[in-house]
Amino acid sequence: MRYFIEIAYNGKNYHGWQVQPDAISVQEVLDRTLSTLLRKEIKIAGAGRTDSGVHAKQMFAHFDYDAIENFTRFLFRLNSFLPKDISVQDIFEVQEDAHTRFDASRREYEYVISLQKNPFSEEIAYLIHQKPNVSLMNEAAKSLLDYKDFQCFSRSNTDVKTYNCSINKAYWKEENNQLIFTISADRFLRNMVRAIVGTLLNVGFEKTSLQDFHEIIKSKDRTNAGASAPAHGLFLTKIEYPNSILK
């Protein structure tokens, strides 16, 4: 039987989602914990990967196992084994060929910027000391929906077949001394959101004009875009799937 689990984690103490040879990752902790609990080697497959220090309010992974009879008890025991910065929110059975990565239809991220020093958000928001022009940033963000190729925002030497992404939402809002950027697309390239945020901040600080922003995208050259915003302000917030994956 195949199961999807819904996960949330604070990425501060982890070198990203994916298992690595010499660094601790969220996937490694979940593999080890599930294997201990189920007394069988479990290797989960995630919906994607997050970079070192990036957080997730909603991530999904799948694994195969004979039968889990009591989901409520399983979740309680699993969360008892897991460290405090990782939690499993839900578990449900899916079709045998369902895949958390390939069946995902849309993903959404938020990037949080703090406009005021706050000891309670230091590790989950990027502090800046001058407020940028949010109207300019929103105008530039809206134009992202007019493009498909985002190679200029992709990490160099990334092994992908295409740099095309379909962005359907990209906007900034201000609330409680924070700027929050929300972006949704069918897929994202590695480092894409942080590179977009860094470039939009350049627009907001009027280092990059709106026309320059368009030219950066058209150039398909990462060196023309802004520096990546720090990882600790980024959250994976939502992953959507078609109902057809459910059993």
Supply the residues annotated as catalytic.
Answer: 51
**What is the CB-side half-sphere exposure of residue 96 using CA atoms within 13 A?**
3
Burial class (CB within 10 angstroms; exposed 0-12, middle 13-18, buried 19+) of 147:
middle
Distance CA 141, CA 206 (A): 14
Burial class (CB within 10 angstroms; exposed 0-12, middle 13-18, buried 19+) of 152:
buried
**Measured CA distances, 69 to 4, 65, 79, 91 (Å):** 15, 11, 17, 11
Helices (H), 39-133: 71-81
> Which of 14, 7, 9, 109 is closest to 52 using CA atoms?
14
Distance, first Cα to last Cα, the chain: 10
